Amino acid sequence: MHKYMKEAIKEALEGINNGYGGPFGAIIVKGGKIVGRGHNQVVLNNDATCHSEIQAIRSASKNLNTFNLSGCTLYATGEPCHMCLCACLWANIDKVYYGCTIEDNEKIGFRDNKFNSLLGGRDKLKDYLVCIDRDECLKLFDEYNKIKNKTIY
């Protein structure tokens, strides 16, 4: 497995084990160094915008003291929804590697795919959004499914 995806999985596990939200983590890397980390905190923060990628962008922006994350790569355990994808574009993130697909997310009750069908355009970003380590990231869903009385958003 890619070493940075392993770090993104660690982030996701932190969120799952604490019941903070969906089973998703993200890492931002610049020049071979991790500059931002995030896991989903929608339930913890009572804030629908707290996806792992948004949290990682906020973290990297704080660490680098800039809204311009050009030269950075994002590794996310789940394919970014349109909110997160457009956030990556605004932040000038160079490239995104993701594990589970948006269709996978639907199987555990998330609406990313519904929004994706509505908005679309992902076919034009095949070089920007690249799937890696899907099987490893899918194991996070098993961990997530073990939680009883989950809050779905």
**In which element (H, E) is residue 16 found?**
helix 3-18
Q: Is 13 in the site for a second copy (CB under 8 A)?
A: no
CB 36 within 8 A of CB 11: no
Q: Is 124 in the site for a second copy (CB under 8 A)?
A: yes
Q: Can you tell me the distance from the alpha carbon of 5 to that of 75, in angstroms, rounded to the nearest whole number?
A: 6
Q: Is 86 in the site for a second copy (CB under 8 A)?
A: yes
The pair of structure tokens assigned to 11 is: 């982030």
Which residues between 66 and 85 bind a second copy (CB under 8 A)? Answer: 66-69, 81-85
> DSSP readout, 84-113?
HHHHHHHTT--EEEEEE-HHHHHHTT--HH
Pick the closer one to a second copy by CB: 35 or 133. 35
Q: Is 65 in the site for a second copy (CB under 8 A)?
A: yes
Residues that bind a second copy (CB under 8 A): 42-43, 45-49, 54, 57-58, 61-62, 65-69, 81-87, 89-92, 111, 115, 118-122, 124-125, 153
